[in-house]
Structure 1
């Protein structure tokens, strides 16, 4: 079946000397993997390897056989060009971190247009803003809404966050309960916009604590989730 859809590049992997295998989150068909034969050696082909940088927004025409095998892309072009996402050092480091997160969290072929719209909107926001120190924290928290484990905020006045159950409570009940200043700051992110969340003040230590807490939270609620290898680089940059 020939489909035309917008898509977000999640991951690309070199295959052999000249081929690429790319994972795209498509708006109409969910997560799909494609084999791009000879793309790394072709200089005149319609599809260029540079199109498949992480998080690039594309418009593609593809042949979906829906047999669980690698699909084929017939045509691809930039949907909305980024101005700074792949050229600014801080933003490009964020891009690799976010693409690793998405590679570990989006695994189903189910269509999720709300998730697609969230990712498209937030990447364009990141591309056009400079005050982005809290972006990765806000991004991860809001991402949980689309993955089905956003924290229960009905008892947000309580001081302990139970990561295992995703709720707030008044005392610790397991090893995955956290409290203290990092939880107080974490609460400030819940229900805020990206613009508002960038104004939240915190120390380097607290930012790292919240980020590590969120990654544990993802591990608890997503089978097979692993902390991104780019985490150490991200910590160095935002420190």
Structure 2
């Protein structure tokens, strides 16, 4: 069966001299793995370059039978990035987000709104000329809307705590793990108010930004089964010093 998908590349690797395994998030089918035959020709090597992390592609796939891996028959760039591949800061952010999205969406089924959010966010990053140092924080926080555990801001008041497990603010925190207090609770409330348009107004130090990254990562770790340690996290922490 031949079918078409719009997809975002999350991971790709060679598994023999002429074939590549590609892991994508598709608009039509959610997470999907497929095989790309690239051969040893110059054209094959050029085709391989299409499948960089977070590339947005249109693929024609062939699946011989249900449950079998699909094979890529044709591939075209759906959204051409003009800036991300050439900006070291944006490239580092995109490499981290590719690993992060792969971690969070391992069992994700078809979701047009999730796909569109990620696609539109990447296009925003590509077009941003400045003031994108908080982009990854806003992206991660807003993504919780689409994967089912966006925090509830309604009960926030100064000095309250944040219940990480239930995703809400509470008047007091018991002496146990899973609660944010003090500055960390305030950081969570601040992150929930940020979006791509206003994030430039929220000034953060390098230490603040990294602490926010840790807080969000811990929040995902509580809500995503088998959340894996991310190799690219240490690189991202060095950015925007």
* TM-score, normalization by structure 2: 0.92
Residues 168-198 of structure 1: CA deviation (Å, up to 9, x unaligned): 1111123111122233233123144211123
CA distance in 2, matches of 1:162, 1:222: 16
Give the aligned partner of residue 134 of structure 1: 134
Tell me what 1:145 maps to: 145
* 8 Å CA contact 1:22, 1:35 repeated in 2: yes
The count of corresponding residues between Structure 1 and Structure 2 is 238
In the alignment, what sits opposite 2:215? Answer: 213
**Cα RMSD over matched residues?**
1.8
Counterpart residue number, 1:100: 99
> Are the structure 2 counterparts of residues 28 and 208 from structure 1 closer, same or farther at C-alpha, using a change threshold of 3 Å?
same
In structure 2, the partner of 1:229 is 231
Gaps of 5+ in 2: none
In 2, are the aligned partners of 1:182 and 1:206 still within 8 Å (CA)?
Answer: no
- Quick one: distance in 2 between partners of 1:152 and 1:65? 45
The answer to whether 1:82 aligns with 2:84 is: no
Q: Segments of 4+ in structure 1 off by > 4 A? A: none
- How many Å apart are 1:40 and its aligned residue? 5.8
Mapped to 2, the partners of 1:160 and 1:125 lie a distance apart of: 33
Which residue in 2 is equivalent to 1:167? 168
Counterpart position of 2:181: 179
TM-superposed deviation, 1:236: 0.9
Contact between 1:47 and 1:75, CA under 8 Å: does it hold in 2? no
List runs of 5+ in structure 1 lacking aligned partners.
none
In structure 2, the CA distance between the partners of 1:116 and 1:4, relative to structure 1 (3 Å rule), is same
The one of 185, 196, 202 aligned to 2:204: 202
